[in-house]
Amino acid sequence: MHQHLSPLAWFEGFGVHKSILDTVLAEATARGADDADLYLEHTTSTAVGLSDGVVDRAHTTIDLGMGVRVVVGNQVGYAYTEDLSLESMLEAARTARAIAHDHSGTPPVRTEPRGPVADYYPVDRHWSDVDLSLRVPMIRAWEERAFASDARIDKVQAMMADADKHVLIVRADGLIHADYRPMTRGFVSVTALADGQRESGSYNVSSRGDLTYYDEARQHRMVDRAVERALRALDAGSPPAGEMPVVLAAGSSGILLHEAIGHGMEADFNRKDISIYASKLGKSIAPSEVTIVDDATLPHARGSLNVDDEGSPTERTVLVDHGVLRTYLHDRISARHYQVPSTGSGRRESFRHPVLPRMRSTYMEPGPHEPEALIRSVKRGLYCEVFANGAVQIGAGDFSFYVRHGRLIEDGKLTEPVKDVNLIGNGPEVLEAIQMVGNDLEIDEGGWTCGKGGQGVPVSQGMPSVLVGKLSVGGGRA
């Protein structure tokens, strides 16, 4: 198995040996520093796509480089290079350390490679060992299934994208840690045509897994749900506008947690006192049915990490425990500021970016109610099933998310389908307005990407069915 080689083995293939790493790190910390690290990355991504009945494109991207970070107090100097020659790495180290002006920090100790501390995404085969010819018949079968499922399906696009990401983290406190991070994403999008009207539907799945992730049931589900969504959209309208009770279906409605509380719990915003949650630690912020977790340890989840991007071990972090706010999401900078252990939440998009505290897989623990009971309790409201995207203002706490597919709730029953509506609310107010939590927690299998500070990182999210007493629904109907 690849993971059991020396942590240094992968980058030795690029001529980067331990003595070089020690030299670069020594250069980075030559003026002193509270912390410093090197982050080496080699990622090979491949995407194969189909449209109009032809597997007509393949894309490969190779990313290779090293980022060097020097930390003095809360100050960060960062530089990166795509050239792994000693000369270029030393120059990056000198650029990054410009932030330190003869600072008397801890000098680095001798670095020491460590074995893997966890393996949340073991795989039998790396993606670079999977021949392209194995992927082509799979996506062709997705297309065939879509066209066969309904005569109204007019166009089909399908794609399979995967990546092998090798990272090596070398820290000034001596730790060296390597991680191999596989990722795959499958995507099906269809256009349905009926009576001159066109609508589209799509579905995607993503995992830190290998080719075995695509079992038959998952492949069928991808296609069937994309078709079902397109057909439903043909009959869907816009919901009424204004405030109303909202039932969030289990699964991808975890986007509400991500926007309403997740970002606000990232410790950098709280350290700077610019989050609405900055003064709420230890306080009750939601009904006692509500427990919210950010978890790096879910097997093969898109958001999982064996080790974070600054070498800290990862964990299952309870953000809200039975309604009480417990902890922020920390990287090493904020952990040092608050004098707590890191939660293993330090992440970066690539070697081109400095570390920030970020979410991994964010979900709510299940509650006591049958999901049907939530719908039954609503006289007139909205049932939200499929989400596209969300956003938040950290300071004001206002957040929104876009519902691609849903239904109206009338007299406790699901009625006509609706589509394309944005919902908006205030994070703390919405958490307090959670009235019922279902017993049907589902981690969404879709490929979510979280954006912050210009960096996108893969995340997962999940939710049981939840009833929120009041959200503002941006319907097109008065």
Residues in region 169-198 near other proteins by CB under 8 A: 191, 193, 198
Site for other proteins contains 60 (CB under 8 A): yes
Q: Which is nearer to other proteins, 311 or 425 (CB)?
A: 425
* Alpha-carbon gap, residue 456 to 383, rounded angstroms: 29
Q: Which is nearer to other proteins, 373 or 391 (CB)?
A: 391
Helix, strand and coil content of the chain, in percent to the nearest 5, comes to: 25, 40, 35
Window 423 to 452, contacts with other proteins (CB under 8 A): 423-426, 428
Count CA atoms within 13 Å of residue 113 on its CB side: 16
Site for other proteins contains 61 (CB under 8 A): yes
Q: Which is nearer to other proteins, 58 or 109 (CB)?
A: 58
Site for other proteins contains 80 (CB under 8 A): yes
* Alpha-carbon gap, residue 8 to 359, rounded angstroms: 28
User: Judged by CB under 8 A, which of 303, 344, 346, 354 binds other proteins?
Assistant: 354
Cβ at position 436, least distance to other proteins in Å: 23
Q: Considering only CA atoms, which of 186, 52, 208, 55 is closest in space to residue 132?
A: 55
Cβ-count burial 220-258 (b if 16+ within 10 Å, e if not) = eebbebbbbbbbbbbebeebeeeebbbbbbbbbbbbbbb
Is residue 63 within 8 A of residue 53, CB to CB? The reply is: no
Cβ at position 61, least distance to other proteins in Å: 5
Site for other proteins contains 346 (CB under 8 A): no
Q: Which is nearer to other proteins, 92 or 172 (CB)?
A: 92
Nearby residues of 14 by Cβ (< 8 Å), 6 or more positions away: 42, 64, 84
Q: Considering only CA atoms, which of 470, 472, 466, 451 is closest in space to residue 291?
A: 466
User: Judged by CB under 8 A, which of 168, 419, 434, 466 binds other proteins?
Assistant: 419
Cβ at position 82, least distance to other proteins in Å: 4
Cβ at position 417, least distance to other proteins in Å: 14
Site for other proteins contains 99 (CB under 8 A): yes
Q: Which stretch binds other proteins (CB under 8 A): 104-112, 366-374, 389-397, 460-468?
A: 389-397
Sign of CA dihedral 401, 407, 408, 410: negative
Q: Which is nearer to other proteins, 191 or 439 (CB)?
A: 191
Residue 136's SS3 state is: helix
β-bridge mates for residue 47, sequence order: 59, 161
Cα angle 152, 154, 156 (rounded to 5 degrees) comes to 120
Window 253 to 312, contacts with other proteins (CB under 8 A): 259, 272-276, 278-280
Q: Which stretch binds other proteins (CB under 8 A): 130-138, 203-211, 311-319, 338-346?
A: 130-138
Q: Which stretch binds other proteins (CB under 8 A): 178-186, 239-247, 292-300, 432-440?
A: 239-247
Q: Which is nearer to other proteins, 115 or 476 (CB)?
A: 476
Site for other proteins contains 392 (CB under 8 A): yes
